[in-house]
């Protein structure tokens, strides 16, 4: 049977790759990485660990519907691999949080691949560490969402992380301010281009797909 490991390689810092991920990258027969508009950040992050190996890039444009591409990618892997061989598919952050890999995994399972998922560090965990801002503490409630914020949820949580905020940023900030949240915007977390913004106008002016907002309600125990 052919086996695919879906590996979360973290937010960008090559030293945040787990030891298990490192070992599997070294041992596997094939390495597959997602590519968007001709670039693969995943490939760049692991470049020191893939010397001498063939790294196959598969196009998954960010922000687009890729259902057909997921199916085609799974079929490509099936065609390339032989029974008994292993491959890794590398994805940023954690493989089970808003990742390309999730949809690819579903297609691979239809083709009777053996699939194993290896966790990684998420962008919002990394951002909270960079900021020394707790995501959640005892007896608190935390919300994770993607692009759109539900005001009813804001009434019930103490902290929130919003990923991929470039498409709906003003609405997000308006809602956070309305419900008295202190927010921080961070982009390219754990990469050389990392930047942290606190000013509303500066946040609205920035337009980076790899960005997120972490916010805590004013008055909760966070040190602000």
Cα–Cα distance, 81 to 3 (Å, whole number) = 9
Neighbours of 35 (CB within 10 A): 17
Closest CA to 74 of 100, 38, 40, 111: 111
SS3 of 66, please? coil
The pLDDT value recorded for residue 65 is 67
Distance of CA 142 to the CA centre of its chain: 18
The pLDDT value recorded for residue 62 is 63
How does strand 3-8 pair with strand 114-118?
Answer: parallel
pLDDT over 70 percentage in the chain: 96
- Options 3.20.20.70, 1.10.260.30, 3.30.950.10, 1.20.1740.10; CATH for 123-217 is 3.30.950.10
Q: What residue ranges of the chain have pLDDT lower than 50? A: 222-224
Residues of the chain with CATH 3.30.950.10: 123-217
> Does CATH place domain 3-118 in 3.20.10.10?
no
pLDDT digits 0-9 by tens, 42-91: 999 999 999 888 899 998 866 556 788 899 999 999 999 999 999 999 99
* pTM attached to this predicted model: 0.89
Closest CA to 114 of 81, 90, 70: 81
- 21 to each of 25, 101, 191, how far by Cα in Å? 6, 15, 19
- Sheet of strand 159-163, all strands in order from the earlier edge strand to the far edge: 142-146, 159-163, 211-217, 181-187, 195-197
Q: Write down the residue that tokens 């691979």 correspond to.
A: 108
The pLDDT value recorded for residue 220 is 62
Distance of CA 216 to the CA centre of its chain: 21
The pLDDT value recorded for residue 60 is 81
Residues of the chain with CATH 3.40.1010.10: 3-118
Closest CA to 67 of 32, 11, 110, 97: 110
The pLDDT value recorded for residue 15 is 95
């Amino acid at each position: 049977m052919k086996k695919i490991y879906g590996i979360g390689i973290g937010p960008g810092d090559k030293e945040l790759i787990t030891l298990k991920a490192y070992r599997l990258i070294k041992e596997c027969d094939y390495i597959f990485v997602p590519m968007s508009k001709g670039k693969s950040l995943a490939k760049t992050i692991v470049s020191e660990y893939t010397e001498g190996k063939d790294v196959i890039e598969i196009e998954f444009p960010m922000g687009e519907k890729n259902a057909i591409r997921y199916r085609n990618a799974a079929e490509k892997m099936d065609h390339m691999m032989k029974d008994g061989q292993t491959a890794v598919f590398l994805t940023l952050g954690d493989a089970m949080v808003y990742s390309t890999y999730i949809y690819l995994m579903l297609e691979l399972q239809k083709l009777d691949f053996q699939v194993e998922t290896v966790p990684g560090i998420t962008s919002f965990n990394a951002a909270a560490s960079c900021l020394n801002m707790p995501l959640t503490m005892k007896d608190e409630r935390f919300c994770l969402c993607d692009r759109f914020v539900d005001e009813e949820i804001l009434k019930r949580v103490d902290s929130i992380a919003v990923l991929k905020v470039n498409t709906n940023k003003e609405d997000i900030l308006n809602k956070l301010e309305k419900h008295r949240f202190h927010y921080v915007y961070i982009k390219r977390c754990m990469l050389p281009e990392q930047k942290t913004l606190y000013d509303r106008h500066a946040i609205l002016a920035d337009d980076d797909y790899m960005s997120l907002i972490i916010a805590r309600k004013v008055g909760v125990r966070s040190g602000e």
